[in-house]
Amino acid sequence: HVQLQESGPGLVKPSQTLSLTCTVSNGSISSGSYYWNWIRQPAGKGLEWIGRIYTSGSTDYNPSLKSRVTISIDTSKNQFSLKLTSVTAADTAMYYCSMYYYHSGRWWFDPWGQGTLVTVSS
Amino acid sequence: DIQVTQSPSSLSASVGDRVTITCQASHDITNYLIWYQQKPGKAPKLLIYDASDLETGVPSRFSGSGSGTEFTFTITSLQPEDVATYYCQQYDIVPWSFGQGTKLEIK
């Protein structure tokens, strides 16, 4: 399995942009056909899929966030990133990154990163 | 978008009990359903993929069944370490969607 580690500011001011990075270890972000995902979870609440980026760079976003989200890949750093603009308190959550791929007739889901807590507050 | 309705939202059972959680998808997702276990302060852990296949290393007391729109997750003999919140998630169509979660406690 690859190992994933989220990082970024723990505190973001309202109306600003949330920027997080997921660093991939024990594997290359650009080799193979992988989907790299962001998922979030407000404290005490359920899980929300934010979006994904394919190894090729193509992306899919949750329509509920699409106007504010950008996911990108930096192959030189073996990282992928999340940017969420115009944040409000409703964006306060634990943010997780994950990876999955298709191989030998099935989908494989590697363990998620441990998550990083982002609080939106002035 | 596909909606996933999970029930119950909470459940209390005794050690050794059989526990069942259900998920209903708003559209046919064939067998593209995952079951996760989440313990406090931890990321969700994959238990079941493709609706009924047990992830490597997961105890055999966990199982899943179903296809189409109706799915069931079962713990055949509840253990103290199974206290957690369980989520289903469909991965047939983006945006992926999760059930609301079932918080499982020991009586």
Residues in chain A closer than 8 A to B49 (CB atoms) = 106-107, 109
- Residue contact A47–B44, C-beta within 8 A: yes
Model pLDDT for residues B56-104, shown as the tens digit of each residue: 999 999 999 999 999 999 999 999 999 999 999 999 999 999 999 999 9
CA dihedral A41, B64, A106, B55 (to 10 degrees): 70
Task: Please tell me the predicted confidence (pLDDT) of residue A89.
Answer: 98
- Where do the DSSP E strands lie in B1-107? 4-7, 10-13, 19-25, 33-38, 45-49, 53-54, 62-67, 70-75, 84-90, 97-98, 102-106
The per-residue pLDDT string of chain A (122 residues; one tens digit each, 9 = 90 and over) reads 899 999 999 999 999 999 999 999 998 898 888 999 999 999 999 999 999 999 989 999 999 999 999 999 999 999 999 999 999 999 999 999 999 999 888 899 999 999 999 999 99
Mutate to test the interface with B, among A5, A40, A47 (most CBs of B within 10 A): A47
CA distance A65 to B91: 18
A47 at B interface, C-beta within 8 A? yes
- Residue contact B95–A60, C-beta within 8 A: yes
Average pLDDT for residues B11-24, to the nearest whole number? 98
Q: Is the pLDDT of residue B28 over 90?
A: yes
